[in-house]
Structure 1
């Protein structure tokens, strides 16, 4: 099936419009987080790291995300949902010491425009990359959602690198435990064990699978969670010995109410404890969707809840919403703040 193509003229106009819009946006103060505006890197370019996650390594934070192409189109022949997408540009990486000022380290897992059969061809889909470090192998391991344009492939992809800034070597994709893998994340526990958390069974059920010692394959040990409840966009963190999982419902690009669950172990029973968001627009997660929860180094019991505010008709201009996550009466709470500082 041939996909819609934009003319060079319309692409140029789109780039100009976005750049003009980005330049008009207020920039972040060096010590503040301001959600929903265009965030620029240290060279003044808009940060392009969507659906991402952050890894802390050797006193530096590394933010990995989807590097979106500069034009968005809809696949009209996909009728099951609003299939808006941009060309897959690979996985980007930004580094920071303070979580506010970010340096572009490049596209650490590039797309492969020369190979139309590759998972990483721009016509395909690369989503929600997450990276963890393996202390035994000394490798940085990336997992991501690998998809066909119509979102029916539902594979997990894996790549490794000797450095957090790549380049990452792609190892291929597969269906973990023989089932679909769509929205996904990784979690590395204090004991060094790592888990792959992913929406499966056509997004109806969330799987949690134990990874092997190299973090590159599943062990076959897994659990099925929230069966037939259709949860996606998982984000996992640990607090005072308990495990927490924030996810969204399945409404395509449009926001919905978030949900949090808690368990005594990653492969244990998960108990739903409600929406962690409070206040105005909490019922649509502040017009955004979960992607990661980051424990901040050096600040005990301080977490950042990371969300994406998707712009489905101009995906490169999707914004980032980062808010402090605290605990009240034993439950995680996220509240909107126009701006906040560490």
Structure 2
């Protein structure tokens, strides 16, 4: 009997050891289970590092719908391999009068910490219940605690009544409207987009804001980066000191370039942004943008992905880039493999960023751990 007990204990410990070993690597595209044994439900996510812990926020999805029937989820980890389910950080509302009424669309939630107010601030792309993608709102919520609950503050389009600082006075004064350019995708229409026809169209009501991310610079200034102008142009907007509103200072990036899914980071004084094209739920080739000033000129570079699968960003679309604490030049590219027919089964593709000629490079890895950054 004692022998059987010892064998059982050995097998139990061996099983735990094996499970821990399995959890000590990141395996892009495979099922990733939390501490409850369930596939992590945090799609289109973002990462916040606070007081020694990483917090992963993302969209909670169901089996049949991409709509928000639960809200924004939060998971925590000390070392990025295994994650604790911290439950729902922001819940949708049961009131039909609420802008975040259950069944609305909440996408790409990101959370940053404000050192002045000591509050955690969440931004997300919001579309209203049963209104398709016409609203193009930014939603904002705050909490005193990193895991929530977050209190919904407000949602709207952004920077109403303000011009982009890099739109010329001449283009601001053009009287032509979108309908005056005729059929989309013609050379005349493309020229109109570059000249700011949609900026003028939505000047008073506010600029569209869909796929988005947040970035806090070294000086504490925060920025909201989002796909705007019918998803044709990226905009980068400065936030107020408390991070809960826009200051009205913003720029346009790659007008007419059809970019979405922005993910941004800073290294050696330069700003890098990886985006995708606009092909719905289907993957496409990533793009790279680089600038010396976040509100300055951005230069477009070729696809940062290389090797097999690079032309489709390894069957994924980026959502966030975050630095690994305690390691130099260590950044992780977070991406999603969308499963629109079964959204809850969407997979996560995390890859380490390497640098060649001072530019970021992404290569596929079946599995990896943080020791990969020891080679930098």
Q: Normalised by the size of structure 1, how large is the TM-score? A: 0.87
Map of 1:51 onto structure 2: 44
In 1, are the aligned partners of 2:62 and 2:342 still within 8 Å (CA)? no
Mapped pair 1:69 → 2:62: yes
Which of residues 109, 130, 149 is equivalent to 1:167? 149
Once residues 245 and 313 of structure 1 are traced to their aligned partners in structure 2, the CA distance between those partners, rounded to angstroms, is: 29
Mapped pair 1:147 → 2:127: yes
Where structure 2 has 5 or more consecutive residues not aligned to the other structure, the ranges are: 1-18, 160-205, 371-376
Once residues 263 and 117 of structure 1 are traced to their aligned partners in structure 2, the CA distance between those partners, rounded to angstroms, is: 42
Equivalence map 1:1-342=2 (5 Å): 29-72=22-65, 85-112=66-93, 114-148=94-128, 149=130, 150-177=132-159, 178-342=206-370
Between Structure 1 and Structure 2, how many residues are aligned?
Answer: 304
Once residues 153 and 275 of structure 1 are traced to their aligned partners in structure 2, the CA distance between those partners, rounded to angstroms, is: 31
Secondary structure in structure 1 of the residue aligned to 2:241: coil
Q: Normalised by the size of structure 2, how large is the TM-score? A: 0.79
Structure 1 residue 316: Cα displacement: 0.8
Where structure 1 has 5 or more consecutive residues not aligned to the other structure, the ranges are: 1-25, 73-84
> Measured at CA, do residues 27 and 201 of structure 1 come closer, stay the same or move farther in structure 2, by a change above 3 Å?
farther
Rg larger in 1 or in 2? 2
Return the structure number with greater strand share: 1
Structure 1 residue 117: Cα displacement: 2.5
Residues 250-280 of structure 1, C-alpha deviation per residue, up to 9 Å, x if partnerless?
0000000000110011101000111111100
Once residues 68 and 215 of structure 2 are traced to their aligned partners in structure 1, the CA distance between those partners, rounded to angstroms, is: 28
RMSD: 1.3
Structure 1 residue 89: Cα displacement: 1.9
In 2, are the aligned partners of 1:48 and 1:92 still within 8 Å (CA)? yes
Structure 1 residue 330: Cα displacement: 1.3
Once residues 20 and 233 of structure 2 are traced to their aligned partners in structure 1, the CA distance between those partners, rounded to angstroms, is: 40
In 1, are the aligned partners of 2:232 and 2:258 still within 8 Å (CA)? yes
Once residues 41 and 223 of structure 1 are traced to their aligned partners in structure 2, the CA distance between those partners, rounded to angstroms, is: 39
